[in-house]
């Protein structure tokens, strides 16, 4: 049966205008950090929310030029809070400095934590990119309403990319700050045990059902029809599940051979991200009883039930 999900189309033409304040909507200004990479696309989007009083969402990396650009965009207005969508360092590395030097409280969804306990001898591939020691001044929880400068946000817990990921809905609008959960330039990295594919898919269902049409992600440009794009991302992940099972049915027995079968032409620099996300798919399918996994000191063996 053909999928009823819309086609998945990525916008890779976004021009970030690094260092310049860009008005995305009334009371929302974007300033993109100059930390472009294979994982961050054109850089991390920091958002200033409010009119006369402001909140800063995702201050980004420690970069003096980005800090100066944000200070210029704030233009002397009081900054009431720093909000984090999550605690990967491309979003949060500068947060402690902003709190210390500007006296602004830090609000987010709790200290960085794994989506599940590590197995014996297991390495968290994204561990060095996580802000393990950052502690919030205010713990944000699901469905909570909070002030953001002189605006109001609703907090939506969206675990999957990592356990403490949050999205923020702007009160009185159709706008959702979607962080790394839904982005328009690429699908989201889900790396176990930091993230969870089951949580990620459940969080997609959650945002699709919320009353927001336009998404402003933490990397890349605005998404005009956020729920449709989220539905396409979900269908994409379901297709990857099918491809993984098919690869094993055709004789693949290791994660390496599965990645080679599904991504035969992918550049080497992107193969690591594919391997991490496919490992999350393996765990998801294993938990559903659709895949058998044997783990040992010499590696992991995959088979169908």
Instruction: Please list, residue by residue across 66-104, b when 16 or more beta carbons sit within 10 angstroms of its beta carbon and e when fewer do.
Output: bbebbeebbeeeebbbbbbbbbbbbbbbbbbebbeeeeb
CB 20 within 8 A of CB 65: no
**Shortest CA distance to 292 belongs to which of 236, 262, 249?**
249
Digit-coded pLDDT (tens) for 175-221: 999 999 999 999 999 999 999 999 999 999 999 999 999 999 999 99
Instruction: Please list, residue by residue across 8-17, b when 16 or more beta carbons sit within 10 angstroms of its beta carbon and e when fewer do.
Output: eeebeebebe
Domain 237-303 carries which CATH code?
1.10.10.10
Quickly state the pLDDT bin for 2 (edges 50, 70, 90).
very low
* β-strands 45-50, 54-57 pairing: antiparallel
- For the packed helices 268-287 and 226-249, what is the interaxial angle rounded to 10 degrees? 80
User: How far is Cα 206 from Cα 114, in angstroms, rounded to an integer?
Assistant: 21
Tokens linked to 249: 């049915």
Distance of CA 22 to the CA centre of its chain: 21
Digit-coded pLDDT (tens) for 140-171: 999 999 999 999 999 999 999 999 999 999 99
**Shortest CA distance to 142 belongs to which of 217, 199, 222?**
199
Digit-coded pLDDT (tens) for 92-115: 999 999 999 999 999 999 999 999
3-class DSSP state of 46: strand
Domain parsing of the chain, residue ranges:
22-233, 237-303
CB 161 within 8 A of CB 200: yes
Alpha helices in the chain, H assignment, sequence order = 64-74, 89-92, 95-102, 197-209, 226-249, 255-262, 268-287
* β-strands 175-179, 166-170 pairing: antiparallel
Q: What is the mean pLDDT of the chain?
A: 95
pTM: 0.95
Contacting residues for 164 by C-beta, under 8 A, at least 6 apart: 86, 87, 108, 109, 110, 111, 112, 113
DSSP assigned state of 181: T
pLDDT of 242 above 50: yes
Digit-coded pLDDT (tens) for 254-292: 999 999 999 888 777 778 888 999 999 999 999 999 999
Tokens linked to 42: 């054109």
pLDDT of 224 above 90: yes
Please give the full DSSP string across 57-87, using - where no structure is assigned. Answer: E---SS-HHHHHHHHHHHTT--EEEEE-S--
User: How far is Cα 243 from Cα 216, in angstroms, rounded to an integer?
Assistant: 30
Question: Is it true that the peptide bond before 69 is cis, omega within 30 degrees of 0?
Answer: no
Res 3: pLDDT = 54
Digit-coded pLDDT (tens) for 81-92: 999 999 999 999
Architecture in CATH of 22-233:
4-Layer Sandwich (3.60)
**Shortest CA distance to 131 belongs to which of 187, 87, 176, 180?**
87
Tokens linked to 163: 């356990």
Domains 22-233 and 237-303 share a fold: no
């Amino acid at each position: 049966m053909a999928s009823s999900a819309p086609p998945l189309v990525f916008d890779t033409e976004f021009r970030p205008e690094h260092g310049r304040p860009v008005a995305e909507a009334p009371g929302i200004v974007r300033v993109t950090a100059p930390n472009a990479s294979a994982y961050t696309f054109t850089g991390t989007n920091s958002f200033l929310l409010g009119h006369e009083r402001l909140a800063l969402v995702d201050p980004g990396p420690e970069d003096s030029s980005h800090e100066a650009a944000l200070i210029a965009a704030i233009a002397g207005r009081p900054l009431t809070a720093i909000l984090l969508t999550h605690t990967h360092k491309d979003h949060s590395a500068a947060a402690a400095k902003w709190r210390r030097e500007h006296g602004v409280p830090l609000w987010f969804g709790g200290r960085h934590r794994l989506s599940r306990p590590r197995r014996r001898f297991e390495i968290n591939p994204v561990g060095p990119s996580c802000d393990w020691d950052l502690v919030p001044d205010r713990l944000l929880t699901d469905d909570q309403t909070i002030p953001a400068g002189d605006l109001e946000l609703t907090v939506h817990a969206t675990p999957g990319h990592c356990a403490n990921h949050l999205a923020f809905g702007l009160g009185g609008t159709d706008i959702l700050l979607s962080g790394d959960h839904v982005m328009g330039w690429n699908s989201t990295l889900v790396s176990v045990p930091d993230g969870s594919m089951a949580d990620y898919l459940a969080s997609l269902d959650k945002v699709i059902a919320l009353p927001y049409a336009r998404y402003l992600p933490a990397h890349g440009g605005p998404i005009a029809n956020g729920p449709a794009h989220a539905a396409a991302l979900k269908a994409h992940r379901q297709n990857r599940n099918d491809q993984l099972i098919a690869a094993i049915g055709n004789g693949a027995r290791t994660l390496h051979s599965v990645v080679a079968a599904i991504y035969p032409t992918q550049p080497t620099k992107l193969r690591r991200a594919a391997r991490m996300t496919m490992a999350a798919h393996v765990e998801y399918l294993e938990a559903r009883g659709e895949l058998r996994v044997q783990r040992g000191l010499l590696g992991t063996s995959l088979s169908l039930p």
